[in-house]
Copies of this chain bind each other. A is one copy, B any other.
Amino acid sequence: MARDRALTEEKILAALGAILAEAGGSRRIGVNAVAARAGVDKVLIYRYFGGLEGLLAAFAEKTDLWPTVEEAARARAIPETDLAPALAALVQGYLASLRRRPVTLEAIAWDMGERNALSERLDRLREQWRRDATTRVFRQHKVPAKVDIEAVMAVLAAAADHLAARGRLGGSFYGVALDDPVGHKRLDDALAAILEGVLNYARAGKESN
């Protein structure tokens, strides 16, 4: 109707975003659903994006899917003084930022089940995050040689991804409520304690194996 390709593309992308945001478990994104939601004929999705796969790719590129290190830092005001609290704040901020992004949570959940255009994008974004976090935090701190800090961060990031994505549906996980502030605080504290312990205990020079 409006005869404006750019606007139409915008509407389509927005519709996909809306569906993903409220998908809370419904699964099955389809061309028909997106087109209907956008109030547009589905053929335009094929014309402008080359089908669902292309649409996903375009969406993934265009959308603010992942928190930046800066955002995570802002969320928790990273203290620069010591490594452990800095990392703890970073991971806590990462977790909190994920929770604020429904479509990202959906993408993470989706990513567990199948590989598609979004998966690749997520991989690249994670890699980006890792680089940024490294340059931001590790440059100015000494890491105890005994600790494979990268593996520890992978463990904590995996936990954050899992807890955030699972938390969007409510419920609890191994005795911790995922959908209320009390549970969130318990997790934050646990993350802090883990990083404190790993870094300081290792720094004390004790053998861990």
Contact = CB atoms under 8 A, between A and B. Distances in A.
Q: Is the interface of A mostly helix, strand, loop or mixed?
A: helix
A5 B209 CA distance: 54
A108 B165 CA distance: 12
Tallying the copies of this chain within the complex gives 2
Contact of A154 (B108, B176, B208): B176
B192 A194 contact: no
A162 B112 CA distance: 8
B202 A193 contact: yes
Interface in A125-175: 126, 130, 146-148, 150-159, 161-163, 165-166, 169, 171, 173-175
Contact of A112 (B113, B155, B187): B113
How many of chain A's residues touch chain B, expressed as a range? 35 or more
B113 A152 contact: no
A84 to B, nearest CB: 9
A126 B173 contact: yes
B152 A194 contact: yes
A97 to B, nearest CB: 16
Interface of A: 25-27, 108-115, 123, 126, 130, 146-148, 150-159, 161-163, 165-166, 169, 171, 173-176, 186-187, 189-194, 196-202, 206, 208-209
